[in-house]
Amino acid sequence: MPLALLSLALLPLAGGLALWRYAAALPPLDMAQAALRSTVVLDREGRLLRPFATADGRWRLPLTASGVDPRMLAMLTAYEDRRFDRHPGVDPIASLRAAWQWLAHGRIVSGGSTLSMQVARLIEPRSERSLSAKLRQMVRAVALERSLGKAGVLDLYLALAPYGGSLEGLRAASLAYLGREPARLSFAEAALLVALPQAPEARRPDRAPEAARRARDRVLDIAAARGVITAAEAAAAKAEPVPAGRRPFPMLAAHAAEAAVAAEPGARVLRLTLDGRLQASLEALAAERAASAGPDLSAAILAIDNRTGAVLAQVGSAGYLDASRRGAIDMTAALRSPGSALKPFIYALAFENGIAHPETLLDDRPARFAATYAPENFDLTFQGTVTARRALQLSLNVPAVDLMEAVGPARFVARLRAAGAGIVLPRDTAPGLPVALGGLGITLTDLARLYAGLARGGAVPDLARRLDPQGAGRVPGHAPGQMPDHAGAAAGMPVADPVASWYVADILRGAAPPENALPNRIAYKTGTSYGYRDAWAAGFDRRVTIAVWVGRPDGAAVPGLVGRLVAAPVLFDAFSRFGGEPEPVPQPRDALVATSAALPPPLRHIRRDSPKTLGATLKAPLRIAYPPDGARIDLGLSEAGAAAALALKANGGVPPLTWLVDSLPVAAGARRHSEWRPEGAGFARISVMDALGASDSVVVRIE
């Protein structure tokens, strides 16, 4: 008897020793797969912009208990593990109940698994349901709780629990089935997410909504029975429908997200400077306006914080998944012709170099530059003498080319490049006067940066796209919580000095707004590329710069695609969605505000040594081609009958031409080819004069 009692007393010790030896013999738990998460791209406030699947195609988004609705966590523990906060990883009461049910029924009825044991099974999955497998889970559960604690174990469950198909973890399931983050859920939604991991394939709402409903309602009944919710709340939750489909994951700022992942492929959480709410609003705006503008058209929008250079919104297309609009192409990075959108920078350099002032008078008349280049205005009319202010507001071409000639196209292009813009010229060509009207390539991103430079007194910003991972709300290189006036340094040399930049900003703020928009709110300029291929609008106030492009990604012409009519309304709408009252750029202390008459004499009018009138710059000056000077011409005057007519021919000059013989006009003149019928023989002086006063004469003898 004493021996039997001793054996009985030693039995727990022997069992404990055996269990210890069993645990010691187990290999270390491989946590590498459990630590694997999807890459997520977040906005400046931590809101999800776009998740990416893991390499093996699973959606396992990072999540901790702090990001989950507390009512959902209460339901989870009430349903899965009532004593989660009190047991060491294994619940003895639940285990004894499971053992009794097994003995009573001859099969496993309930496993008595705790959340910790379920996490162990998810980390080290095994297909069999045996006592050996259950023992292994118990050992692993205790080890997990000792190493990670309750909070760590709960976080692993929330990240690894299966929800059907490729969905793993509560966050992926909440987004896919409910279309929202799990931070705030209804009772019905929380109960559904608690129920699914028990049989994820059999209860998938997108395939078995009725099974999902029954499982959800059981969770609600248990939650009510255990005091987590009231019976009335459970009844109301049961009345809610179960989602019958799967929603797409968020895909905001798809192009920016892809670029961030490509730049740092090893990172699992990438936080951008984008404002998620503004991004979503501008993406909807781009899609709406592109659709109304016509088929195959896309749109791109870029918004920059002028103080920091942070990109607040980057809309690369009118719909990333819209193949008809080639939505996968990021048009913020595509080289396109800017049309007149670069004219403000011609004026800025002219102002900076003392060539002109906003009130300097310029001539908008028919003119020819470099002998062959004769620009015309968009509406084929001319305004005569106008101020530089008016010329830029009306986007007149002749004054812009006039100033470009004074500034120098090579110097202009070099200045833009020195400021950080990637200007691309046609192959094997040097900068020429046509660059004033868009004869070059630039991206929407670089155009926006240049305009942001005008808002910053000429200092073109280096764009910040990532937030410092070491500090929330922090631009790299700056103190936490600090948003400096000029983030980092400018990208290169200033695009213009502060006074010239303000002159341009003040001019553009007075430009006439598009239809139904309020005037004098933002400084803006539009552009239309040759052949109606690209419509541009870029604008700024003190706070933000926004640039817009509309067109076909393949570069095809679109009749009627004009910057002022198509892109400018998008720009003004984008500013209204940014919110707040626009703030003008502050005036520098040494800016000269004066009328044309009050300017210093050299600034009152552009006076050039080389005239650019059409008649003064033609390659072929006005010349009489026939008859040649000194010729003797027999017209048959010595014979009986009427004399033959003398043909007259001139080259060059500006029509209409006036022919004269001995200072008397020829009745059949006003053309390059004319004729004169003499009344008698003798010498005659034949002259021709063009519309601008140029003339030529010859003396011939008529016989």
What is the DSSP annotation of 168-223?
Answer: BSHHHHIIIIISS-TTS--HHHHHHHHHGGGSTTTT-TTT-HHHHHHHHHHHHHHH
CA angle at residue 56 from 52 to 58, to 5 degrees? 55
Inter-residue contact 347 to 507 (CB < 8 Å):
yes
**CB-based contacts of 59: which residues, under 8 Å, 6+ apart?**
38, 51, 53, 166, 167, 168, 169, 172, 176, 249
Nearest to 394 by CA among 347, 357, 434, 441: 347
The torsion of the CA quartet 595, 601, 603, 605, rounded to 10 degrees, works out to 90
Its sign, for the CA torsion 595, 598, 599, 604, is positive
Give Cα 159 to chain centroid, integer Å.
32
Residues contacting residue 125 through CB under 8 Å, at least 6 positions apart: none
Exposure on the CB side of residue 146, measured as CA atoms within 13 A: 7
Identity at 660, one-letter amino acid code = L
Tokens of 669: 């003149």
The angle at the Cα of 583, spanning 579 to 585, to the nearest 5 degrees, equals 140
Other C-beta atoms within 10 Å of 664: how many? 9
Contact, 650 vs 678, CB < 8 A? Answer: no
The structure tokens listed for 431 are 């900068």
**Of the residues 38, 80, 116, 687, which is catalytic?**
80
Distance CA 459, CA 451 (A): 10
Q: Give the active site residue among 38, 116, 174, 340.
A: 340
Best CA proximity match to 304, nearest among 274, 259, 339: 274
Amino acid at 582: P
Instruction: Tell me, yes or no, if 340 is annotated catalytic.
Output: yes
Residue closest to 486 by CA, chosen among 463, 510, 509, 516? 463
Length of the chain: 703
Residue 80 falls in the annotated catalytic set: yes
Give CA–CA dist 489/476, Å, rounded. Answer: 12
As annotated, the active-site residues are 80, 340
